Amino acid sequence: MNNSLKNYLSREGLKYAAGIFFILMINLFNIYIPKTQGDIIDYLSTQSFDKAILIRYISYILLLALGTFVCNYFARYLMLSANSMMDFHVRSDVFDRLLKFSATYYTKNSSGEIMALSSNDISRLRYALSRGLNMVTDFIILFVLAIISIFTINTKLVLYVILPVPIAVIIIIFFGPILREKNRIVQEQFARLTTKTQQNLSAIRIIKAFVHETNEIEAFEEGNKSNYKAQVNLAMTSNFFNPLIIFVSSTAVFLMLLIGGKMVLENDITLGEFVACNTYLLMLIRPISMLGMIFSILQQGRASWGRITDFFNVPIELEPEMEEEINDEAFFGDLTFENVNFSYDGKKPVLKDIDITIEAGTSLGIIGKIGSGKSTLVNLMLRLYDADTGNIKIGSVNIKDISRKTLRDHIAYVPQDNFLFSETIVENIDFDDKLSIDEVHEAAKISQIHESILNFSHGYNTQLGERGVNLSGGQKQRISIARALTKDAPILILDDCLSAVDAHTEQEILKELRSYSNHRTTLIITHRLTAVEHCDNVIVFDDGVIVESGSPKILIKKDSYYSSMVKMQEIEQEIGVYDEE
């Protein structure tokens, strides 16, 4: 995909070309008005008066004004439409790319930085193109036409009018890199502030629970001060740069009054020509004086486009074309890990020499300490990451030979975070919007959430708050389980998704799941050993290594980590540790 700015602009090339044409017409009309005014003054200075001629001049000016109005409308509409479509394409491509990045990208970049880029940077780019491009185009056309018009009146005056321009260009060249760097710093500070805000909003309940509001306010104030200093630093430079350009451009007015007035007195030009030239100059002064602001806007846009370009330059891991996708039956084969090793940073190993075979249609419990590598094993299974060495196979097929889409279509996965969307309950369960209401109900019954949903005032049409904030932890987990079950996939993965459910409900869910998954390969990651006591096999992780494996009935009889944890959790269950939120 070609994500150059030129490509985005060329998509709306006809609109931009038409908009520039109407800007040209606006300036042509505007250029004729001062000439007509000068002709009127010269006509009146002859001490003759013809009402018909005067009306003709006035009508001419009114027609020019009307033409300016009509062209201005179409110019604004076309340029706004083109810039809006450019904004649409950039935002769509950014979002499309975000969904194609691997999980590695999100471990290296904060959500606040991503949000700042996809909102603030794109908005600044659009403003630079809409406001900045319009002003630059208008200035260039107006400058050329005004100089030509003054040249036709008196060539000497042109030299005095254009004298400030090279001085302004030198100032712009000097301040350009300075403004661009300061704009970059401002946008980076804004991204950091956005990240901090996003983190606090996501963790607001934890912050309140730990009475950490004061600390977070102080931390935010530090970031806000840095953002303020960057903004002030930019403003100080801009506020010196812009008036300097205005001062330089104003010298042309002084020269025009001095030299032009002398020419009128010496009868080198008429009073009407002097008025026309002075009007042309005043028409030029405004865009020349705004060169500073135009340049500042363009530098903001350039800095934003630089950040967007850096984003587009992040490589997407492209999959090779698969000669032939495996059929659905192949996913009912054994799941094998052969000497699998993996690290997130290429240095510290997270999984070491993992060798295990999970027979098709059986269940495997995966337990271990926090950070021992349990969820990482699932991430490799889903190809959120690829193993550094070794192979993962379904049947005889290496999962790297299966497209990620096909692989994930055949895996039902319930993650730890149990993310719910700000939609209705039925929309969260029927994620693909393809199921009948009876199928949704069936999945909810298996996950033991059906009765709870019916108790809500709007039942399955109950609107959830952000991340399901109006539900308990156990309710969110059970809705997430129901969502996974609707896929009817041959492989089911439950990643510690029963932690907030009380013991009785947990056993009911597991009982229903055993019936549901009797022909499916099931992986259950948990700290609650009651969740794996009916699994065909259990493996125990410790520091990325499988230290124990076997059936629960065998492991419970040994002096093992598994048996010691079972005894400990039996005591905890007796004193009521596991209660649903």
Distance CA 198, CA 214 (A): 17
pLDDT of residue 392: 92
Chain centroid to CA 149: how far? 48
Burial of 110 (0-12, 13-18, 19+ CB in 10 A): middle
User: Residue 443: helix, strand or coil by DSSP?
Assistant: helix
Domains and CATH numbers, the chain: 83-312 (1.20.1560.10), 327-410+489-581 (3.40.50.300), 417-488 (3.40.50.300)
Question: Sheet of 335-342: strands edge to edge?
Answer: 351-358, 335-342, 389-394, 397-398
Per the CB < 8 A criterion, the answer to whether 215 and 255 are in contact is no
Q: What are phi and psi of 398, to 5 degrees?
A: -70, 135
Q: How many CB atoms lie within 10 A of CB 378?
A: 19
Question: CA torsion, points 113, 119, 122, 123, in degrees to nearest 10?
Answer: -130
Helix 271-289 vs helix 133-153: angle between axes, to the nearest 10 degrees?
A: 160
Closest C-alpha among 423, 370, 297 to residue 542: 370
> One digit per residue, pLDDT tens: the chain, 581 residues?
456 788 888 888 898 889 889 988 988 888 887 777 777 777 777 666 677 777 887 888 888 889 889 998 999 899 888 888 888 888 888 888 888 887 777 777 777 778 778 888 888 888 888 877 788 888 788 878 877 877 777 777 777 767 777 777 787 778 777 877 887 788 778 778 877 777 777 667 567 655 677 878 888 888 888 888 888 888 888 778 777 777 777 777 777 778 878 888 888 888 887 787 777 777 777 676 666 677 778 877 888 888 888 888 888 776 655 545 666 677 778 899 999 999 987 788 899 999 999 999 899 999 988 888 888 999 899 888 889 999 999 888 888 888 888 888 888 888 887 788 888 889 888 887 788 899 889 989 999 999 989 998 889 998 887 777 788 888 888 999 999 888 888 899 998 888 888 878 888 888 888 888 778 899 999 888 888 888 899 999 988 999 989 898 888 888 878 888 877 777 766 665 554 44
Closest C-alpha among 531, 493, 543 to residue 368: 543
List helix spans (H) across 13-163. 13-44, 51-100, 103-108, 111-116, 122-127, 133-153, 155-162
Placement of tokens 């598994």 in the chain: 562
Distance CA 201, CA 288 (A): 45
pLDDT of residue 581: 43
* Cα four-point dihedral sign 444, 448, 449, 452: positive
DSSP character string of 328-350: GGGGGS-EEEEEEEE-SSSSS-S
Per the CB < 8 A criterion, the answer to whether 117 and 187 are in contact is no
Distance CA 254, CA 241 (A): 21
Helix 437-446 vs helix 503-516: angle between axes, to the nearest 10 degrees?
A: 120
DSSP 119: I
Question: CA torsion, points 143, 183, 111, 126, in degrees to nearest 10?
Answer: -10
C-alpha distance from residue 392 to each of 338, 358, 365 (Å): 6, 11, 18
**Exposed e or buried b for every residue in 400-424, given b needs 16+ CB within 10 A?**
bebbeeebbebbbbbbbebebeeeb
Start-to-end C-alpha separation, the chain: 48
Angle of CA points 311, 312, 318, to nearest 5°: 115
C-alpha distance from residue 395 to each of 126, 199, 288, 548 (Å): 52, 42, 72, 24
Per the CB < 8 A criterion, the answer to whether 415 and 482 are in contact is no
Which residues share a beta bridge with 336? 357, 393
Distance CA 240, CA 296 (A): 12
Angle of CA points 538, 542, 548, to nearest 5°: 35
3-state secondary structure 282-319: HHHHHHHHCHHHHHHHHHHHHHHHHHHHHHHCCCCCCC
Distance CA 505, CA 484 (A): 18
Which residues share a beta bridge with 412? 492
Which residues share a beta bridge with 523? 364, 493
User: Residue 444: helix, strand or coil by DSSP?
Assistant: helix
133's CB contacts (< 8 A; 6+ apart) are 79, 83
pLDDT of residue 441: 92
pLDDT of residue 573: 63
Long-range contacts, 456-465 (Cβ 8 Å, 24+): 456/425, 458/424, 459/425, 460/424, 460/425, 460/426, 460/429, 461/424, 461/425, 461/426, 462/424, 462/425, 463/422, 463/423, 463/424, 464/420, 464/421, 464/422, 464/423, 464/424, 464/425, 464/428, 465/422
CA-only gyration radius of the chain, Å: 35
